[in-house]
Structure 1
């Protein structure tokens, strides 16, 4: 099949591309970075270099494809850009995708959504996933869409490193012994590859998770990996976390979104639909990720 993979060679798209190529599919990888082209081609895929803001480029790239894997790929650096509304910018990319799907005639879409996409509000920074699911659901009914809803990515834990180094603590506005789901990008890529080869039938939702583990267990696992078995997870007030993020230079609106998202994690609202549609857990566990965490921790 002819498959388009967005997201360049990121944490999900690179292993996904490798797997799809190994299975004999014709894969085109969309990237904004011309320097990625040789690496993309080395994987056995074609490169399409252009912007997610350019509907004509997307339309041309998508035309003739059997399946498009679509994700919004703003990098984490925009969290600190005070001129970008993170939710609105991502939502606009979703609107660009919709227009390009309509113009190109694509009938089968796998969209990387998120935990919390079932909530119209109260999901903080994840609100754009709800927005985009609504936008894509406006496509004609002969367009089949698989909404992939992974939970929190393991690599988001890298953001814990500064306070571990400075205060010997993981600091968030939720915590304790209540388990919550986390996921490895490798497990996400595996599930997407699986869904690409399964029949498409209307609109479907699938949650993706690797392990259900509590904040205190995460602190213990990461602490042992970095040689600090006494590492603790400290729960602070929303206002304290918000001020800490803003003082670190984060866009205040983005920071508010993170705080609200974490509140929804702590009170369980974020996971209500997940537990109603609980997936089989993937293969990569926090102990596996902790090895990569320790390497970055030691080198940073």
Structure 2
């Protein structure tokens, strides 16, 4: 098949491109960074350098594809841009993707959504994924779409490292003994690659997770890996957590979105639909990721 991937070759895009190339598919990877072209080519894929804000470029690149993989591609670095409305910018990308899919006559789409996309409010920063699903669902009914909803990424835990080093604890505005799901980007890539080869029919939703553990269990696993077996997960009030994010330089509007997202984790509100459609867990567990966490923690 001819498959076009948005999202460049990041945490998910690289293993996804590798898996699809190994399966014999003709893969084109869209990236906004010209310097990545040689790395994309080295994977056995074709590079298309351009901007997700350019509908003409997207439609031209999508043209003739059997499957298009779409995602909202603004990275974590944009969280700290004081002039960027993160939500508005991502929703604009969603509209551009929809327009390009329709213009190119694409019939099969796999869209990287997120846990929390089922919620129309109260999900904080994840509201962009609810909006993107709604936008893509406006496409004609003959276009099949698979919405992939991964849970929290393991590598997001790397953000715990500075606070562990400065305060000796993981500090968030939620915590406790309720289990929550986590996922490896490798498991996401493997799941998506498999879905692309399965029949498409209508609009479907699939959650992706690798492991489930409570905040206190996560602290124990990570603490053991870094030689701090007594590591605690400390829950602080929303306002205190918000002030800490803003003090770190995060855009205040984006910071409020993070606080609201974490608040939805309390009591499992964020995961209600996940547990109604609970997937088989992937192969990479938190204990596996803990080795990567320890390596990052111990870097000078």
TM-score range, shorter chain: over 0.9
Other structure's SS at 1:212 match = strand
Q: List aligned pairs for 1:1-300, cutoff 5 A.
A: 1-300=1-300
Structure 1 counterpart SS, 2:139: coil
Q: Secondary structure at the match of 1:115?
A: coil
Q: CA deviation at 1:230?
A: 1.2
- CA displacement at 1:72 relative to structure 2: 1.3
TM value normalised by structure 1:
0.99
Q: 1: CA distance between counterparts of 2:164 and 2:64?
A: 49
Three-state SS of the structure 2 residue aligned to 1:148 is: strand
TM-score, normalised with respect to structure 2 = 0.99
**Could you report, residue by residue, the CA deviation over 1:31-54 in whole angstroms, capped at 9, with x for unpaired residues?**
011111111111110000000011
Deviations 1:48-77 (A, max 9, x none): 000001111101000000000111111111
1:275 shift after superposition: 0.5
Distance 2:238 2:114 in 1: 23
User: 1:247-270: per-residue Cα shift (whole Å, max 9, x none)?
Assistant: 111111100000000010112111
CA distance in 2, matches of 1:185, 1:132: 20
Structure 2: distance between partners of 1:211 and 1:266: 18
Secondary structure of 1:299 counterpart: coil
* 1:229 aligned counterpart, secondary structure: coil
Q: RMSD of the TM alignment (CA)?
A: 0.7
Matched residue SS, 2:110: strand
Structure 2, gaps ≥5 residues long: none
Q: CA deviation at 1:134?
A: 0.4
Secondary structure of the 2:200 match is coil
SS in 1 for 2:84: coil
